[in-house]
Amino acid sequence: MKAKFSSKALKLSKDQSALMGTVAAATVISVFSLVSIKALAGQVIYQGKVISARHNSAKQMKANISNANTLVTQYNSVFLGSSPDNIIGGKNDSSTSAVPPNGNNGRIVLDALPTVYDFPALLTSMSKVLTNNGIGSQSIGGSDQSSTVKSDPTGNPQPANIDLTVSGTGTYKDTARLIKDMERSIRPFDITHLAINGNESSLTIDLNLTTYYQPAKTLSITSKEIR
């Protein structure tokens, strides 16, 4: 009986070992399958994101090309023409040597707002305008903010004010010519205060002016990592 019992126990032990092996193998296969499914699912999701990103990029590129073509058409219709005069009353001259008020309309518009804040250059330009119009006893003032103002290019630049006070003396014709030149200036000047005293041969003029500059616009191409 003892030998028979031992034989049964041995057989039972072998059966248990086989069962454990089968369970272990099934577990390994199940875990491997789950890991594989998870990896495949991750790949499918990733590829979906890549395809979506490519679709959006292609759509944006088509929109950019369309906008560029529209801009060229609008520029040609507005700025190119055969008129002998430009929009500020000067000669319609496309040469690089043209001096304001001469020049073509496209150049006038592009040069209207400087892209950097340069207060000393503004004072020099204003002094030249006054001198060219015969204005003497000149006084040009304002607050130089070069140390604090930033002119770095941005994605959405906005015009910024620069305020000046200007005074001088001249004849009636000199004064009238100065005002006319400021009206025709490529760079816009808003006269916020004007006081004129004296007679036709000798006038004192006092002006408060606001002019502008606008930082350059950046056109950047960026990359995006798909995860």
pLDDT tens-digit readout, 87-101: 777 888 888 788 777
* Block residue for tokens 């200036």: 185
pLDDT at 8 over 80: no
Q: For residue 48, what are the domain limits?
A: 1-79
Total domains, the chain: 3
- Residue 208 three-state SS: strand
Residue 167 has a CB neighbour count (10 Å cut-off) of 17
- The reported pLDDT for the residue numbered 168 is 96
Give the rounded percent of residues in the chain with a pLDDT score beyond 70.
84
Mean of pLDDT over the chain: 82
State whether 106 and 122 are in the same domain: no
State whether 91 and 74 are in the same domain: no
Cα 84 from chain centroid? 34
State whether 105 and 88 are in the same domain: yes
Choose among 66, 62, 110: nearest CA to 217. 110
Mean pLDDT of 187-201: 91
For residue 223, is it within any domain?
no
- The reported pLDDT for the residue numbered 77 is 76
The CATH number covering residue 165 comes to 3.30.70.60
Contact 214, 158 (CB under 8 A): yes
- Residue 191 three-state SS: strand
State whether 6 and 75 are in the same domain: yes
For residue 133, is it within any domain?
yes
Choose among 86, 90, 81: nearest CA to 105. 86
For residue 219, is it within any domain?
no
pLDDT band, residue 178 (cuts 50/70/90): very high
pLDDT band, residue 13 (cuts 50/70/90): low
- Residue 87 three-state SS: coil
- The reported pLDDT for the residue numbered 73 is 86
For residue 121, is it within any domain?
yes
Contact 216, 155 (CB under 8 A): no
State whether 99 and 175 are in the same domain: no
- Residue 121 three-state SS: helix
Q: What angle do CA 132, 137, 143 make, to 5 degrees?
A: 90
- The reported pLDDT for the residue numbered 52 is 83
pLDDT at 2 over 50: no
pLDDT tens-digit readout, 36-58: 777 777 777 777 777 888 888 88
